Structure formats: C-alpha cells, structure tokens
C-alpha cells in the first residue's frame, strides 16, 4: 500500500481543530493508500495526543505522529521575524524537507480547513520540476491593496501568487535547492511583514509552481467562482472562522466534521461565548493587514530594491552539504565537485623544476601569480587583516612542512603572503601540495598556475606517486617549505578545525623537519562578494614549530606531531571565537 505524507502545524490550543481537518480527510480519502499524518508542534499536551489513538483504531490505514520542532526553532529564533498575532507555527512548514530527509513529497495543510475531496488525488499531482503544487491566493487576486503590494513591493505577479495554507511540497527539491537556507538568506536581507512566510515562499518558488485547481484551496474570501459540488477543500482564512462567527460561508461543513470529534460541544461553547468585542477585533485585524500592505507598498526601500543582494544558490548548496557531511562525520571529503580528471603519468611532472623549460614557465607563473595576488588584495577580493607569529616561521633554519586549515581556493595565496612576510624568499622556496585533478584538468588561468607555480600534484598511479614522494622529500631536505592541507578536504568558509590525516606529518617524520601549524581565522567584512556573502577578513596565525622528538619512534612521532598540531589549532579556534569546538555529528 503506497504511503501518503500529510503535515499539519499547530499548538496545543489549536490541535482540536487539526483533528477536525484530519477527520474530514479520512472520511473522503481513498482506502487504497496508507496515510501518515505528522503534527508539528512544540507544546501539545499528552491528553490531546492520546485522542489520536481513536483515529488509528477507526481507520486502520493511518498513522499519526506528533513531532517536536523545538530544536529547529532554537536554531532559527534569531532570524524569524514574528508579528504579534502570528505564532511560530506559521514557519513549521519550512522545516519539513530538512527534518524528514527520507520523504520526497508531502502535503502541508493548515488546520482551519475542511477537505471534501479525495486527498490522494492531490498527492498524486505530478509536480515535475516544480518546488510546490499550490492554488492562487484570492486576497492578492481579488483585492487591489494586496495585489499592489505583491506587484510593487515583492516584484511578483499578483495573479501567480499562491496561498501557503495548502501545499504539495517537492521536499526532494527543497533539500537539493536549499529552500530553508534561501529563506534564512532573504530574512536576513528583508523582513516581509504582510503574509510573512507566505511572501518568502512565493519569492523562492517563483516560476516553479505547479498550479492545481483552486478548488483544492477554496478560501472563504471574496467571490468563489465555482459550484459548491466542485469544492475539494475549504479554507476559513482571516476572520472567517465558524467557531467565532455565525453565517460564515460553507460553515456547515465544519460543523459536520466537528460533530464527528469529541470537541463538538466545546466548539459550540466557544462560538456562543465569543463576544462582539472579539469579533470586532478580528475584523479589525483584516483592516490592519490592509493598512500594513499599503504602508509596505509605499515604503522607500522595498524587497525589489534589495533582491540583488541575495546569496547565490551554489554557495547555499555548498553550506547545506557542509552541514550534512559534518552530521555524517565525513570530514575528509570535499563538498564541492572536482573537475573531471585524468591520472598523472610517470615523468609528466617536473616537481623540482630541473628542466630549463619548467624553470622559465615557473618564473613566468610566479610573476603573474604575484600580480594576481596584488590585484585581489587591492580589490579586496581577499582581505588579510593581520599575520601573527611571523617569527615562528622566520626562525626555522631547515625545511619545514606547513599545515593550514582549508576553506577557500584562495587560502594558499594567504599562506603565500605569510611566507613572503616571514622568510627570505631567495633562500627558501614555497611549494604547495595540490590535488591531481587540479594539475591535469583545471582550465584557464588558474590551471596554468596549478601546473607551474611551485605546486606538487599528488599522483594516483604508483609510478608517478613515487616521483611525488621522492621530489617532496628532496625539497624538504634542501631546506624549502611545503604546504600540506592535513584536513584533506576544502569546506568553504568553515571556521572549525577538522580532524587531521597523517600525510603531512609523515613527510615531517621521514625528513626529520618540523611542522609549522598555520591557522587562518576569519570574520565578516562590510563588503559583499559577487556570491552575495560577506567577504571574509583573514587573520593568519603562524604557530610555534613542532619538532620530531629524537627519543620517539617514527610512528610515535607521527602521532605526536598530528595530535599536537590539532591541539594547537583547537586551542586557537576556541580562544579566537570564544566557543568550545563541537562537531554536529548525528548519533548512530
């Protein structure tokens, strides 16, 4: 039996109405499916949860799960704008894709609804490459105040704006396209005050909407342009609540299904006791919302004025993968795809630049690399605020292995600057170990630098790997410097030190040279890069060299150098960022 996944979001006060919606769904749903209901909440009491057992017993083909979203709210609390009459629950639908990674499609429904149609037909709508299936928001279509707000402030088409009270969500695409991250990005740039998360969702999903018939979200608002018999879902929006007002259009459907729950008498009591003052207040909320829409439409700086500052989807996807890899303890894996590669052949790389042709290319590459480094510093594409501990490198008399955290393609240029500020560059050369694919397959200007600017490509074939090892040992014995990234992976703008691999420290042990740990800390500058993120200000820390201990075995020294390097990085990280190093690794 195929599973259908349906989500609600509510608090303890409103869960009684969720049960009415749920009842209406099951009374009209096909019996050919199994229905998984998830009620997202933070505070529903056990007494109200227990009532779900009677539903399961009655219908057999359903499961009801209460899901606490408290942890997500804690993470999001600093970026969620709230208005006085909206609860946090309005944002819960944004968490579904990330909280339920094994679900690729889901329906979200508000709890002020009645479902008359067979919901399996809605679930089976082919979303194709769209983010959501949805219905037109009638307030935007029929009311010029709200329509102008959407057109003028948000830069959207009022006739292609959806109501988020019913959504068929392509949760797989939500994850792949980092919708939650995009939401946080937009919130950081602009506060949408009129319909809050509905505005943000429309901005993100623009042109990626599968329009289903509006009868799947029939809003009690303005004119309803189809017959009652064709309605599949009724949505009692704004103040049109049958439990607060008598005479609400299609109120009989609410009372029909409410009567099938234990709350019917309670709802009737709510209606009878609801005062005229409260009804005036509720209608006044709608008027206030219109006034707010007018104010937002006329404000000097609108959303369309800041849209160009939105962060690139590519970078948001990288950050999402970083969170995933950290959670899965995959620290040594790159989160960004390497270019297609081929293996290095034996004799292909002149590692130590002994050939005249190699020397000339390297000299030219070094010249243009220096010009490039000057330019990115001048243009503030890379900002090095300070270099601390230059004496720690300057005092090293032998060759040395430099280690550094790896978080940006430009961080090796930062270490280049630290080398030039600390050493007599005529006496010591600076080499960097790079990936094989960066040497064989990286295109254009950067590829030229990768192949010619004192780089040591790590080869995969045994014969070429022997040449790499021999040449690297020769460089260290000669007294030069070799930069190795012992984390093995590059995670963009990742501030934490990652667990280390052994390769860098094996070089130091085999050649009896020190390891000089370098660690780059960063903070946001006031400048925004082309990707929409703040350009980072780097502080390069050159820490005290770690020398092999002549009293230890090679294996003991390898572990000692690696552990001491990591300890020094962690100590600096915790001191700089004033936080304890913790990885967000999921428990098995």
Closest to 315 measured CA to CA, from 521, 494, 492, 537: 492
Query: CB within 8 A of 488, min separation 6: which ones?
Result: 332, 501, 503
Which tokens sit at 392?
Answer: 């720690």
Whether 587 has a pLDDT exceeding 70, the answer reads: no
End-to-end CA distance of the chain: 29
For 41, phi then psi, to 5°, come to -165, 175
Burial letters for 241-264: b for 16+ Cβ neighbours within 10 Å, e otherwise?
bbbebeebebbebbbebbeebebe
pLDDT of res. 444: 80
Please spell the DSSP secondary structure of 336-349, one letter per residue.
SPPPP--PPPTT--
**Residue with more model confidence, 209 or 72:** 209
Domain boundaries, the chain: 2-310, 340-577
CA distance 575 to 571: 6
Burial letters for 188-218: b for 16+ Cβ neighbours within 10 Å, e otherwise?
eebebbbbbbbbbbbbbbeeebbebebbbbb
Q: pLDDT band at 334, cuts 50/70/90?
A: very high
Mean pLDDT confidence for 339-349: 85
pLDDT digits (tens, 9 = 90+) for 142-155: 999 999 999 999 99
Can you tell me whether residue 556 is helix, strand or coil? helix
pLDDT of res. 510: 96
**Residue with more model confidence, 535 or 310:** 535
Q: pLDDT band at 71, cuts 50/70/90?
A: confident
CA distance 146 to 137: 10
Mean pLDDT confidence for 203-217: 95
pLDDT digits (tens, 9 = 90+) for 450-482: 888 888 999 989 999 999 999 999 999 999 999
Instruction: Give helix 15-28 / helix 251-258 axis angle, nearest 10°.
Output: 90
Please spell the DSSP secondary structure of 366-410, one letter per residue.
HHHHHHHHHHHHHTTSSEEEEEE-HHHHHT--S-EEEE----STT
Q: With beta carbons less than 8 A apart as the criterion, state whether 299 and 154 touch.
A: no
Question: 111 vs 38, 114, 215, 246, 258, CA distance in Å?
Answer: 12, 8, 17, 19, 12
For 120, phi then psi, to 5°, come to -65, -30
pLDDT digits (tens, 9 = 90+) for 123-146: 999 999 999 999 999 999 999 999
pLDDT digits (tens, 9 = 90+) for 548-563: 999 999 999 999 999 9
Please spell the DSSP secondary structure of 221-236, one letter per residue.
SS---S-GGG-SEEE-
Triad 92, 95, 97: Cα angle to 5°: 135
Q: With beta carbons less than 8 A apart as the criterion, state whether 581 and 570 touch.
A: yes
Whether 443 has a pLDDT exceeding 80, the answer reads: no
Proportion of the chain above pLDDT 90, given as a percent: 66
Burial class (CB in 10 A: 0-12, 13-18, 19+), 330: middle
CATH number of the domain located at residue range(s) 2-310 in this protein: 3.90.550.10
Q: pLDDT band at 338, cuts 50/70/90?
A: confident
Whether 353 has a pLDDT exceeding 50, the answer reads: yes
pLDDT of res. 86: 47
pLDDT digits (tens, 9 = 90+) for 260-315: 999 999 999 999 999 999 999 989 988 999 999 999 999 988 898 888 778 888 88
Query: CB within 8 A of 571, min separation 6: which ones?
Result: none
pLDDT digits (tens, 9 = 90+) for 385-400: 999 999 999 999 999 9
pLDDT of res. 410: 86
Tell me whether strands 430-434 and 455-457 are parallel, antiparallel or unpaired.
parallel
Burial class (CB in 10 A: 0-12, 13-18, 19+), 431: buried
Q: pLDDT band at 375, cuts 50/70/90?
A: confident
Out of 263-277, 314-328, 479-493, 537-551, which region has the weakest mean confidence (pLDDT)? 314-328
Closest to 39 measured CA to CA, from 74, 15, 13: 15
For 453, phi then psi, to 5°, come to -100, 65
pLDDT digits (tens, 9 = 90+) for 170-197: 999 999 898 988 888 888 788 888 988 8
Can you tell me whether residue 248 is helix, strand or coil? coil
pLDDT of res. 84: 43
Q: Do domains 2-310 and 340-577 have the same CATH topology?
A: no
Q: Which fold has domain 340-577?
A: Glycerol-3-phosphate (1)-acyltransferase (3.40.1130)
How much is the mean pLDDT over the chain? 91
Q: What is the CB neighbour count within 10 angstroms for residue 42?
A: 19
Closest to 216 measured CA to CA, from 166, 173, 265, 271: 166
Whether 120 has a pLDDT exceeding 50, the answer reads: yes
């Amino acid at each position: 039996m195929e599973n259908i996944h349906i989500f609600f979001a509510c608090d303890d006060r409103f869960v009684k109405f969720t049960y009415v919606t749920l009842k209406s769904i099951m009374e009209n749903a096909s019996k050919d499916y199994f229905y998984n209901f998830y009620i997202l909440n933070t505070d529903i009491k056990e007494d109200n949860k227990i009532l779900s057992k009677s539903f399961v017993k009655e219908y057999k083909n359903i499961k009801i799960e209460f899901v606490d979203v408290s942890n997500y709210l804690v993470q999001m609390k600093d970026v969620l704008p709230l208005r006085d009459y909206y609860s946090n629950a309005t944002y819960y639908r944004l968490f579904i894709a990330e909280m339920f990674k094994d679900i690729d499609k889901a329906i979200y429904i508000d709890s002020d609804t009645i479902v008359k149609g067979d919901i399996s037909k809605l679930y089976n709508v082919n979303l194709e490459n769209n983010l959501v299936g949805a219905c037109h928001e009638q307030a935007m279509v029929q009311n010029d105040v709200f329509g102008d707000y959407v057109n003028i402030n948000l830069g959207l088409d009022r006739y292609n704006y959806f109501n988020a009270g019913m959504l068929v969500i392509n949760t797989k695409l939500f994850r792949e396209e980092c919708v939650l991250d995009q939401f946080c990005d937009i919130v950081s740039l602009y506060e949408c005050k009129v319909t809050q998360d509905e505005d943000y969702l429309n901005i993100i999903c623009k042109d990626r909407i599968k329009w289903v018939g509006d009868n799947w979200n029939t809003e009690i608002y303005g004119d309803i342009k189809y017959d009652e018999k064709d309605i599949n879902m009724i949505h009692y929006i704004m103040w049109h609540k049958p439990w607060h007002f008598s005479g609400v259009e299609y109120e009989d459907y609410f009372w029909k299904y409410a009567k099938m729950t234990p709350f019917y008498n309670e709802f009737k009591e709510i209606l009878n006791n609801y005062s005229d003052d409260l009804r005036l207040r509720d209608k006044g909320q709608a008027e206030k919302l219109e006034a707010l829409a007018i104010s937002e439409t006329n404000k000097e700086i609108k959303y369309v004025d800041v849209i160009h500052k939105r962060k690139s989807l590519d970078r948001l996807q990288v950050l999402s993968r970083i969170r995933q890899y950290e959670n899965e303890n995959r620290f040594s894996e790159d989160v960004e795809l390497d270019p297609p590669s081929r293996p290095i052949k034996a004799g292909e790389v002149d590692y130590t630049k002994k050939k005249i042709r190699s020397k000339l290319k390297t000299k030219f590459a070094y010249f243009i690399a220096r010009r490039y480094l000057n330019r990115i510093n001048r243009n503030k594409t890379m900002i090095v605020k300070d270099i601390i501990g230059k004496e720690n490198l300057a005092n090293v008399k032998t060759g040395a292995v430099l280690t550094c955290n790896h978080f940006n393609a430009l961080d090796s240029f930062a270490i280049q600057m630290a080398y030039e500020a600390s050493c007599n560059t005529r006496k010591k050369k600076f080499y960097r170990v790079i990936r094989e694919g960066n040497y064989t397959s990286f295109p254009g200007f950067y590829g030229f630098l990768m192949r010619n600017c004192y780089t040591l490509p790590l080869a995969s074939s045994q014969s070429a790997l022997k040449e790499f090892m021999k040449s690297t040992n020769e460089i260290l014995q000669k007294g030069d410097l070799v930069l190795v990234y012992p984390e093995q992976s590059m995670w963009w703008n990742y501030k934490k030190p990652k667990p280390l691999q052994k390769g860098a420290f094996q070089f130091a042990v085999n050649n009896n040279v020190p390891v000089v740990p370098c660690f780059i800390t960063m903070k946001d500058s006031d400048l925004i890069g082309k990707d929409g993120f703040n350009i980072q200000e780097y502080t390069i820390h050159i820490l005290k060299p770690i020398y092999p201990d002549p009293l230890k075995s090679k294996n003991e020294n390898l572990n000692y150098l690696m552990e001491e390097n990591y300890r020094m990085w962690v100590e600096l990280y915790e001191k700089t960022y004033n936080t304890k190093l913790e990885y967000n690794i999921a428990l098995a």
